[in-house]
Amino acid sequence: MKNTKELNRDLIHKILDGDAAPDEQLKMIAQVQADADLKKEFDDIAGALHSLETSERMPAPPFFTAEVMRRLPPKKAPIGRRVWNFLFKGRALKWNMATAFAATVILALIFTQVVRTRNAHVEIAAVSQQEQVVTVTMNLHAPEAHHVSVAGTFNKWKADANVLTKQENGIWTISIPLKPGEYNYMFVVDGKAWITDPNAETYSDDGFGNKNAVVRVKI
């Protein structure tokens, strides 16, 4: 059998858990007012709980989510879902300068080859009647540039002789008729920066520690 003190204690916790009936609560209020020890016990527990309930809530430490995400074990989707995702799911490509440069080189190379082939066709059709000339197309991806020209052995390194045209995709382009032979050249960006063509067929040392782009024109 529990004594009165224990029964009162049970009732205190019943009240704290919200399980006490209204008459039990009234009984406890009367007893607490009459018994100083019981009042202290009730006040101490209520005070402790108040401290717990109002205790400081700390925000999660900085970078919490990023650290969790970095440490997640790989989870492979079912094969069917992976194929579906590959084909139909939107994706964000992550770029850095190296991949951007590599992609530019590949795109420009494909573009140059296509144009060159097409132009070569046109020129070869014409060469039999006139002088043997091949139209060479040069490209430079420079979306930020305001002016791009090409200077080389075919125009006596004049920076203003052959000006490229900017296309919407940021690629500057020019087609120049050249006789068969080997030519060194450089792009001149905004009248001051001399840039070696990253898509050149080959390169030659310019004698000043830089490399000139080289184009070989053949029929």
Partner 1 sequence: MNISIETEEHKIIQLCLEGDSEQYALLVDKYKAMAYNIAYRMVGDADIAKDMAQESFISAYASLERFEYGSKFSSWLYRIVVNKCKDHLRAERDTVQVDEIRDIVPSKERTPEQAVSSRQTGDVIQQALNSLPDDYRDVIVLKHIEELDYREISDILGVSVNALKVRAHRGREMLRELLEKMGARV
Residue in 36, 52, 93, 98 binding partner 1, rule: CB under 8 A: 52
Long-range CB pairs of 110-117, under 8 A, 24+ apart, other chains included: 111/139, 111/171, 112/137, 112/138, 112/139, 112/199, 115/173, 115/175
Q: Using CB under 8 A as the criterion, what x/- string covers residues 179-208 for binding partner 1?
A: ------------------------------
Return the number of the residue (89 or 156) whose C-beta is nearest partner 1.
89
Closest CA to 123 of 179, 59, 68: 179
Residue 35 sits in the site that holds partner 1 (CB under 8 A): no
Least CB distance to partner 1 at residue 5 (A): 12
**Distance of alpha carbon 59 from the chain centroid:** 28
Residue in 2, 22, 36, 59 binding partner 1, rule: CB under 8 A: 59
> Which region, judged by CB under 8 A, interacts with partner 1, from 24-32, 62-70, 162-170, 187-195?
62-70
Question: What are the distances in angstroms from CA 101 to CA 22, 81, 112, 116, 162?
Answer: 78, 32, 16, 22, 25
Alpha carbon distance 171, 111 (integer Å): 10
Residue ranges that bind partner 1, judged by CB under 8 A: 9-10, 13, 16-17, 19, 41, 44-45, 47-53, 55-61, 64-65, 67-69, 71-73, 75-78, 81-82, 85
